[in-house]
Amino acid sequence: MFNPRAVVIVGVSKGRNWGGTHYLETFREYNYSGPVYPVNPKYEGEEIQGYKVYGSIASLPDNPPIDLGIVAVPAKITPQIIEELGQKGVLFAHIFSSGYSELGEEGKHLEQQLLEKAKENHIRILGPNCMGIYNPKSRIGFTHRLPLKSGPVAFVSQSGGNAHRHAFMGAHVKGYFFSKIVSLGNQIDIDLVDFLNYFRSDPDTKVISMYVENIKRGGNDFVKLLKETTKEKPVIIWKGGKLEAGHSAVRSHTGGLAGNIKLWKSMARQTGVILVDNFNELTDMIQTCLLFKIPDNLGTAIITGGGGPAVELTDECEAYGLKVPRITENAQKKINEFIPQVNSNLSNPLEFGANGGHQNMIKVMKILDDEPHISSIMITNNPEWYYSAKLNMDEVVKSFANTISPESNKNLISIYNSSRARKETIDIIDEFYLKTREHGIVIYDSAMAAAKSIYHLWSYGNYLKNKGYKIKAN
């Protein structure tokens, strides 16, 4: 499915650029190397988007073999199309069409017909009611302007909208790229468990992420496979439909039952899964897993300029599981050699006040790198201030990145602190984000976001340690 030798698209039109025509456009846009065969008897022999249109599936060439069929026709005729694709030897069908169990009993009956035709004709179904697949290495995408650069993140989503959103947000905002993205839809055949099993052994994937509304097959299979997967790769799950209104939304979206969130939390504890609450937490957690070492402990040192921010950061860290212990007297003495105690608080959190400055911050971070009960060093960063102080942005970021010894198991956490008050500084902020990512530093929008991510990463490492599994370096 991810690397088809040839593709057929059933349901294309000259009059609209959605449905099958939309997918035809994406294959052309991404310069997919294999043959693409649009099918619509109304336009037989004509061209759409530069591709010759065929009148029937049976009339398609046999060489190379067609591995993937994309179906974008009215739901009621999809069982017939599945039968024709199977008879042609097509291995997989992605059904874009909607109008199935998400609409009630009649739709459920239609899904059953689809499954029967698929089994009779030895074809597997992705969907229905889904966007399909995005594989940059194979130059396949489910929407326009997706990056063709591959990366280590897999995303499996029961929402086409979230799949679309993540593809852009990950690459253009968060700075990571994807091995593959799959939009599952109603998962009447190929399901969450199948893709988890695939990505578990996929050499291109280092982090598996999911948006899950419901599980169609027995939960025991899913739990067993998660236990096998998390000892090799982190699995991050964003569970949709946690509360009552969300349950109703799930039923109308993919025709499934959302499930009890307490059971999901219990499952996460048993399997080492990292369970997150929303899209932002999902993207934060992916960055954290990709760039950070699993911390030895929850000890966090906070470096900031004033008392108010220090209190806020400390409160948020402790509220979400991190510890803010005092640093050793030896470390405090070393810091006092260049920062006086007047107008400063150097026990943790470390408040510089008027004694701050970039060079002093770097010196303090080097001292904290030797504190064994500290695994995370949290600093606030304001790229606009660096710019106004005429500091070289590249040199600033490099100095941060080089402060932590490669032998140390510490992570440097950067909390974004900027007013975005001036239009001309937007480029400066973007440059800072880009450079920090390049040097392995994650920027979080708040201490709360950072604390949640670091606590999840520590919990995952603790799970591996308790199970006797080896913790792999990034």
Residues 308 and 452 in one domain: yes
pLDDT, residue 200, reads 98
pLDDT, residue 263, reads 87
pLDDT at 248 over 90: no
Inside any domain, residue 221: yes
Domain boundary (291, 317, 335) is at 291
Inside any domain, residue 1: no
**3-state SS assignment for residue 350:** strand
Residues 318 and 373 in one domain: yes
Q: Do the strands 376-381 and 411-416 form a parallel or antiparallel pair, or are they unpaired?
A: parallel
Residues 304 and 442 in one domain: yes
Residues 165 and 260 in one domain: yes
Mean pLDDT of the chain: 90
CA separation for the pair 28, 30 (Å, rounded): 6
Inside any domain, residue 88: yes
Which residue type occupies 194?
D
List pLDDT tens digits, range 338-359. 888 766 678 899 987 766 678 8
Which residue type occupies 353?
G
Residues 210 and 83 in one domain: no
Residue 257's pLDDT band, with cuts at 50, 70 and 90, is very low
C-beta neighbour count of 197 within 10 angstroms: 14
User: Alpha-carbon dihedral of residues 438, 285, 302, 265, nearest 10 degrees?
Assistant: -170
Residues 237 and 321 in one domain: no
Inside any domain, residue 422: yes
Domain boundary (291, 313, 341) is at 291
**Tokens of residue 238, six digits:** 């964003």
Give residue 273's domain range: 132-291
Q: Flag the least confident range among 53-57, 184-188, 204-208, 251-255.
A: 251-255
Inside any domain, residue 473: no
Residues 164 and 269 in one domain: yes
- Angstrom CA distances, 327 to 302, 312, 362, 374, 413, stand at 10, 19, 16, 8, 17
Report the CATH number that the domain containing residue 100 is assigned in CATH: 3.40.50.720
Residue 292's pLDDT band, with cuts at 50, 70 and 90, is very high
Residues 275 and 345 in one domain: no
Residues 62 and 204 in one domain: no
Inside any domain, residue 121: yes
pLDDT at 148 over 50: yes
Inside any domain, residue 472: no
Inside any domain, residue 286: yes
Closest CA to 458 of 235, 265, 297, 283: 297
pLDDT at 244 over 60: no
Residues 94 and 162 in one domain: no
Residues 286 and 306 in one domain: no
Report the CATH number that the domain containing residue 329 is assigned in CATH: 3.40.50.261
Q: Flag the least confident range among 61-70, 115-124, 234-243.
A: 234-243
Residue 250's pLDDT band, with cuts at 50, 70 and 90, is very low
CB distance 297 to 411 below 8 Å = no
Domain boundary (232, 265, 291) is at 291
Residues 343 and 218 in one domain: no
Percent of the chain, pLDDT > 70? 93
**3-state SS assignment for residue 183:** strand
pLDDT, residue 432, reads 85
List pLDDT tens digits, range 52-62. 999 999 999 99
H runs (alpha helix) in 236-298? 244-254, 261-271, 279-291
Q: Do the strands 51-52 and 47-48 form a parallel or antiparallel pair, or are they unpaired?
A: antiparallel
The number of domains in the chain is: 3
